[in-house]
Chain A
């Protein structure tokens, strides 16, 4: 099938501001949008810049806005998007070039919430025991690949770049609800802030954007409840 890709271009070394370019590609319905972008880059315009690596939805490199929805380019099949596809970089992050955005602010926020295992007890000689039920409690938020689709789909984040963002809250949730971890209070201190969980207005864009189908808004809600009622709900 013949498809028109309308891609937002921006060359920091030549352009004042972003502009649209259109490209025609010949693709199979089961080709990935990433395959179509590669076709443009490899056979039409080598200057087109975008991040990509695994090409099957696990590394999170190619998150972008496709027909106004945040998706991973390698998980979108051409048969889903029709004859004309609009491709833009993620919103809310500074544009570096074309579809590449500056992810440093995103990773800085991630680091601020102590996204690592904390325990004050000595390590046992074997594994710490954890029941299957305890393990299931935080399974959803372990799936996060830090692609940025959620945070950059959030109107609260667009309105205020200081908002710590859904992804960081998901990463904190993963530890807060892990029965082995003991760093809950330290993380809640960071999150209990006007720019922490309280910036969330339960808009649900994040749930729609997440390629791992994490129930992001629910996770944020669980952290809010913990702060309000001091209980693990």
Chain B
């Protein structure tokens, strides 16, 4: 089937929905999601959305910008960080005007709490910048944005899995999608295409990410010649439930929770004297790893304790009810009375599809836009998070850059005509579907995926070293070769999720390859990319963004400069 829209948005999480709300008045919009929109992973975000409202204590957007730049270990593009910090305030008020039920201060304003890496006076001490709704801020943001889309009659295509992007003469002109219900292939012609497909944590064995987060948007763009930026920077959140990856929000530490080793020591005092447990996530994750390595993990094992019992039952039940529920359900642990076992968990991709601050996808060192193609949210790399993302900055990234992408798409729609689709735009996607349905090679999707997740977790994780990263690259190549010989049992057309999981595995393999190659090449430690063989940050040689292209002859790496406007790079200590 064939459709035509001025704008096609792929992904119905916070960024995609926010962009859709900008476009309704300008032209026809279709939002395609492989899930029902309210299932999107924005809904799992817990801790808060960061904005310098200054409701509880003094705060300035300039401080937020600085924290974002330093939090990103100076790889953050400062023009992007400025936009984020400035526009955060009005976009948070906008969400409240749409009914978002923030928690409130006694005088009725939006309540704010401290969060990792957010400071006043350029690093003097923690500041209350995280605007929150209990510990389900993401759920409220997703629901509120979806409600507004319902109000404005946004056109949704639910459970349409996008398989390809169409480009004609260097201009984006549509997408190809697989309708999950019927197995039918749909061609969408569009003036503008926005990818807002979220993260790719399912490359790793222990992850906070949903099963659906397989990096579809980045993988498709990569296959169409768009480079992936800064893929080596993958954040490991310090406090995921041991072995399960389920996230325990940083807000626990924001409310006063502390990390303890097997000696009952508050060990962050040694690693981060000023911010302690509210140091940025990469620093805390490394601290936990080092404690475990020194034999100070709980019972000598691979985790530490997060203790919130001193906060009192009232605080835990009022401010942190959802994580209390997770702990009780999955561990039989009551956080108001006992500590929670936690370990670093693959959580967030700082890298992704490169864009400028308008959300336009840019494809080279000179930031040349690919006309009509946009990206926003976790799948994009503006780069507003640099080498490490601060907590609460993702939710604000979604609404700020989702809105900006929507606005620029609206401008583009007014100023441009449709471009013809290539001949048979859906044929490559159809061929891949047929190949997987007809495969007789006998390789198992589940086995290949499990092996991929294990090697990435072991060798491209919190601490990296050359020999292991090289081994990971080699292993990924082996798995990509075995992937060519995958067979699946389900040959049906209706709700064939086995086929879709096979397609998603292909995406994960390509993205793992560029991640490992980018990491292997970067011979320094910066932010979340931490190398035991190159433990220092090297601004002279490496203050630059990686651009990884993937073509016939494998991965090619190029580099582009970082935007530095207000803050000169300095050593990053807290």
Among the listed stretches B34-42, B402-410, B458-466, which one makes contact with chain A, having 4 or more residues with CB under 8 Å of it?
B34-42
Which of A77, A127, A128, A181 is close to B330, meaning CB atoms less than 8 Å apart? A77
Closest beta carbon of chain B to A37's beta carbon, Å: 11
Among the listed stretches A40-48, A188-196, A201-209, A215-223, which one makes contact with chain B, having 4 or more residues with CB under 8 Å of it?
A40-48
Closest beta carbon of chain A to B160's beta carbon, Å: 14
Among the listed stretches B136-144, B416-424, B526-534, which one makes contact with chain A, having 4 or more residues with CB under 8 Å of it?
B136-144
A24 interface contact, C-beta 8 A: no
Contact bitstring A100-125, B, C-beta under 8 A = 1, else 0: 10010001000100111101000111
Closest beta carbon of chain A to B548's beta carbon, Å: 28
Which of A55, A131, A175 is close to B210, meaning CB atoms less than 8 Å apart? A55
Decide if B150 touches A145 in the complex (CB within 8 Å): no
Among the listed stretches A1-9, A135-143, A150-158, which one makes contact with chain B, having 4 or more residues with CB under 8 Å of it?
A135-143
Contacts of B109 in A (CB 8 A): 126-127, 129
Closest beta carbon of chain B to A137's beta carbon, Å: 10
Contacts of B103 in A (CB 8 A): 132, 135
Among the listed stretches B91-99, B115-123, B218-226, B365-373, which one makes contact with chain A, having 4 or more residues with CB under 8 Å of it?
B91-99
Size class of the A contact interface (CB-based, 8 Å): 35 or more
B326 interface contact, C-beta 8 A: yes
| Interface of A: prevailing SS | loop
Decide if B210 touches A53 in the complex (CB within 8 Å): yes
Closest beta carbon of chain B to A79's beta carbon, Å: 10
Decide if A115 touches B150 in the complex (CB within 8 Å): yes
Which of B36, B97, B140, B488 is close to A142, meaning CB atoms less than 8 Å apart? B140
A180 interface contact, C-beta 8 A: yes
Decide if B147 touches A115 in the complex (CB within 8 Å): yes
| Interface of B: prevailing SS | loop
Decide if A61 touches B39 in the complex (CB within 8 Å): yes
In the assembled complex, the Cα of A52 lies from the Cα of B97 at a distance in Å of 32
Which of A52, A55, A75 is close to B329, meaning CB atoms less than 8 Å apart? A75
In the assembled complex, the Cα of A131 lies from the Cα of B110 at a distance in Å of 10
A173 interface contact, C-beta 8 A: no
Decide if B498 touches A46 in the complex (CB within 8 Å): yes
Closest beta carbon of chain A to B332's beta carbon, Å: 9
11 intermolecular pairs with C-beta atoms under 8 Å apart: A52-B211, A53-B41, A57-B325, A59-B35, A117-B97, A117-B147, A135-B102, A135-B104, A142-B140, A143-B139, A146-B38
Q: Which 10 A-B pairs have the closest CB atoms?
A: A117-B99, A129-B108, A42-B446, A116-B147, A46-B489, A46-B498, A116-B151, A53-B210, A47-B490, A59-B39
A47-B492, A114-B151, A130-B108 provided; 10 other pairs, C-beta below 8 A?
A11-B492, A46-B498, A54-B39, A77-B330, A116-B150, A117-B147, A129-B104, A135-B102, A139-B134, A142-B140
